[in-house]
Chains A and B, each alone.
Chain A
Amino acid sequence: MKYFFFLLISLLFISCQSKFPEKEFVGNRSKTLVSQDSLTIDFPKHYKGKILLVSFIFTNCPDICPLTTHNLQLIQKKAKEEKIDNVSFAAISFDPERDTPSVMKNFTDVRNLDLSNYNLFSGKRENIKSLMETFHIVAIANDTTFTENMEPVYFFMHTDRITLVDQDQNIRKSYRGSEINLEEIINDIKNL
């Protein structure tokens, strides 16, 4: 009987771990960021007590990042339908020199983002770099091309990821950003 309970508890433990393979505390690595509305926050500390889905993007990205920001919109919509209200969404730019608050604001306006619990952030280069390390994100500028006026145009090769952070500021799971399983993410949010 003793062994049966031990086995049961072990199985429950393994089952919980497989749902959330990661547990890395990031609450003590906050950095100052600025939103599309020019509001300054400490990230991720600002979201303590909330479940957070975070992605790193650049607004000049023509393909992968719009898919990721759109996928965050889909999760946001589904969460509202399911009456989940303790979740927030953040997309942080790794191109802060170009992604000023006004540029990010135009990005949210053109895409009709619901900003009630979804924000874009930019900030000082050193803060962005530190947060990218915290969230294990890599972005390398590449494929520079030139316009007729010889103005350089550059893109990034980058990690394609949405990261789930729990209410206690632990990274719990990572998903591909540009292609998602909506049900999986909603179930994971419900299980936190």
Chain B
Amino acid sequence: MLYFLSILFLFFQTNGKINIENQWIRNAGKGMNTAFFADVKNISTKTDTLYKVASSLARLVQVHETYEENGMMGMREAGNLEIKSSETLKLKPRSFHVMLIGLKKDLKEGQIGEVTLFFKHAGAVKVKARVKNMIE
């Protein structure tokens, strides 16, 4: 039962106001940068805002956005991200993602990492995510 619950925890986490689904972290070596991805669904009746992210996995953690300009790809820090009631913010490759800058250890496939997302209304949501090479 405990095993089943821990597996379920890796696919779906909630605090009653925010649901986190399909979360994963891309594998990377110590000292490198990588990213956390997830579907963040606002299941409350109010618009909420993701305003901060944290994790003990890296020296610096920020929400970033990948963008295309003049045929080149770049990245910049994103501001606060608003999520309307019943809507989903997709943190995904080539888009918004949580940047883990300066990893404190290797993150290899199959390991579990924790990231905390902070919302103005829902508060802090701790998320456990599996480390993967890429989406299967």
CB distance from A69 to the nearest CB of B (A): 10
| Most chain A Cβ neighbours within 10 Å, of B28, B31, B76, B109 | B28
Report the nearest A residue to B108, measured CB to CB: A110
Q: Report the stretch among A16-24, A44-52, A58-66 that lies at the interface.
A: A58-66
Are B66 and A63 in contact, CB atoms less than 8 angstroms apart? yes
| Bound complex: CA A110 to CA B34 (Å) | 12
Q: Which residue of A lies closest to B77 (CB)?
A: A145
Majority DSSP secondary structure for residues of B touching A: strand
User: Across the interface, do B33 and A143 meet the contact criterion of CB distance under 8 Å?
Assistant: no
Residues of chain B lying within 8 A (CB to CB) of residue A67? 93-94, 134
Chain B residues contacting A63 (CB-CB under 8 Å) are: 35, 64, 66, 75, 93-94, 97
Contact between B27 and A111, CB atoms less than 8 A apart: yes
A61 to B94, CA, bound (A): 12
Partner of A70, one of B60, B102, B134: B134
Which of A64, A140, A157 sits near B94, CB closer than 8 Å? A64
Q: How far is the CA of A142 from the CA of B71 in the complex (A)?
A: 16
In the complex, whether A175 has a CB less than 8 A from a CB of chain B is no
Interface size class of A (residues with CB under 8 A): 20 to 34
- The answer to whether A110 and B28 touch across the interface, beta carbons within 8 angstroms, is yes
On chain A, the residues within 8 Å of B102 by CB distance are: 147, 151, 153
Number of interface residues of B (CB under 8 A): 37
Give the complex CA separation of A110 and B27 in angstroms.
7
B75, B76, B77, B106: most-surrounded residue (chain A CB, <10 A) = B75
The reply on A37 being an interface residue by CB < 8 A is no
With A67-B94, A110-B108, A111-B27 known as contacts, the answer to whether A62 contacts B72 (CB < 8 A) is no
Which residues on B sit within 8 Å (CB–CB) of A149?
59
The answer to whether B62 touches A145, judged by C-beta atoms less than 8 angstroms apart, is yes
A160 within 8 A of B: yes
Per the bound structure, the CA–CA distance linking A155 and B33 in Å amounts to 10
- Which residues of A sit under 8 angstroms from B33, Cβ to Cβ? 60-62, 153
B30→A142 contact, CB < 8 A: no
> Do B69 and A179 have beta carbons less than 8 Å apart?
no
Is there contact, CB below 8 Å, between B72 and A160?
A: yes
B79 adjacent to chain A (CB < 8 Å): no
A111 and B34 in contact (CB under 8 A), knowing A106-B29, A158-B72?
Answer: no
**A143, A148, A157: which contacts B77 (Cβ < 8 A)?**
A143
Q: Known contacts being A67-B94, A106-B29, A111-B27, is A62 close to B35, with CB within 8 Å?
A: yes
The answer to whether the Cβ of A187 comes within 8 Å of any Cβ in the partner chain is: no
Q: Which of B35, B59, B64 contacts A148 (CB 8 A)?
A: B59
User: Does A153 lie within 8 Å of B72, measured CB to CB?
Assistant: no
Q: How distant is the Cα of A44 from the Cα of B135 in the complex, in angstroms?
A: 32
Contact in complex: A62, B34 (CB < 8 Å): yes
Contact at B73–A158, with CB atoms within 8 Å?
yes
Given pairs A103-B31, A148-B59, 10 additional interface contacts (CB within 8 A): A62-B35, A62-B75, A62-B97, A66-B34, A67-B93, A147-B101, A155-B75, A156-B74, A157-B73, A159-B71
